[in-house]
Amino acid sequence: MTARAWAELLRISALFTVPGDALAGAAAAGRRPDRSTALAMGTSLCLYEAGMALNDWADREEDAVDRPHRPIPSGRITPRAALTAAGALTAAGLALAARAGRPALGVATGLAATVWAYDLRLKHTPAGPAAMAAARGLDLALGAVATGAGPGRALPARTELTAAALPACLLSAHTYAVTTVSRHEAQGGSTGAPLAALAAVAAVGGAVVGERPAPVSGGAVRPPRSAPARLLLTALTGGYLRTAARPLAHAALNPSPPLTQRAVGSGIRAMIPLQAALAARAGAAGSALAVMGLVPLARALSRKVSPT
């Protein structure tokens, strides 16, 4: 077992798409990132990597035919090691969530259950894309309920969940679109999925730059956006659209496996500017710029380890 094999199994280049969920959730709740936000990020990273390991364990027989180079079918990592890693990472993620308070643990438990249900039962069913979309939405909600909380915080956290509802739905819609395309990445041949995803990406971008979100936790009302804030939001949304839309258009015109896989990879990386745009939409320019700092890292690492 080599570090390279584990990097491929865990798809570490896609890890940079995870921290922005918690930051966007904190921004939606109208709070500054704190220690509990960091705990939410750690939870998200652990559960994401658990899902990656579990995914390859569940798909080991299918990958032996379609993608024999993957770590498990190639013999570089044993199925038992992958399953053990998935269990250990899940436990670690829930332990971190518990330190962020009961609301965070409640959301993280739902997130972990969704991840395991997707990989073990739902991935190859019509409910698969919806389950993956729900996982991303829950991940953003995790950042919203964790930030500003602590171990003594009691359930429920309705105000934070309400504030995070729209950004979570937008991130979920993007995830749903990319997941539907990913179902064709091994064989290609689908024009409809990339076209539908392209329409969804355009709709998400339009919603992000739409009207300012509703009042945040505590009943505070956000002031109108300043000109610099509008410019930042427009630029970040444009970055999201450029990252996701062009590869999807190419895949629709030529639905070959390589172009479909490229569209999926770009769709995954597009989550970073989308998260940044959602943070900027909520008035958290600092968080938005911090999230965008992950883009060059994700791009550089994706050249060495595929995110799909």
Q: Is the pLDDT of residue 15 over 70?
A: yes
The total number of structural domains in the chain stands at 1
For the cut 80, the answer to whether the pLDDT of residue 157 exceeds it is no
> pLDDT at residue 255 above 70?
yes
Q: Is 212 helix (H, G, I), strand (E, B) or coil?
A: coil
Confidence of residue 1 (pLDDT cuts 50, 70, 90): low
What is the C-alpha separation between 72 and 51, in angstroms, rounded?
A: 15
Task: With respect to residue 26, please indicate whether it lies within any of the assigned structural domains.
Answer: yes
Between 66 and 87, the more confident residue is 87
Q: Which range marks the domain in which residue 280 is found?
A: 3-302
Task: Reply yes or no: is the peptide bond before residue 156 cis, omega within 30 of 0.
Answer: yes
> Any residues with CB less than 8 A from the CB of 158 and at least 6 apart, and which?
none
In a domain, 233, yes or no: yes
Residue 203 CA to residue 217 CA, distance in Å, equals 27
CATH code at position 281: 1.10.357.140
The model's pTM: 0.91
Predicted local confidence at residue 108, as pLDDT: 98
Within a domain: 307: no
Q: Is residue 265 part of a domain?
A: yes
Domain membership flag for residue 67 = yes
Q: Where are the alpha helices (DSSP H) in the chain?
A: 3-10, 19-28, 35-58, 60-66, 79-99, 102-117, 128-146, 158-182, 192-208, 227-253, 257-269, 271-281, 285-292, 295-302
Domain membership of residue 308 (yes or no) is: no
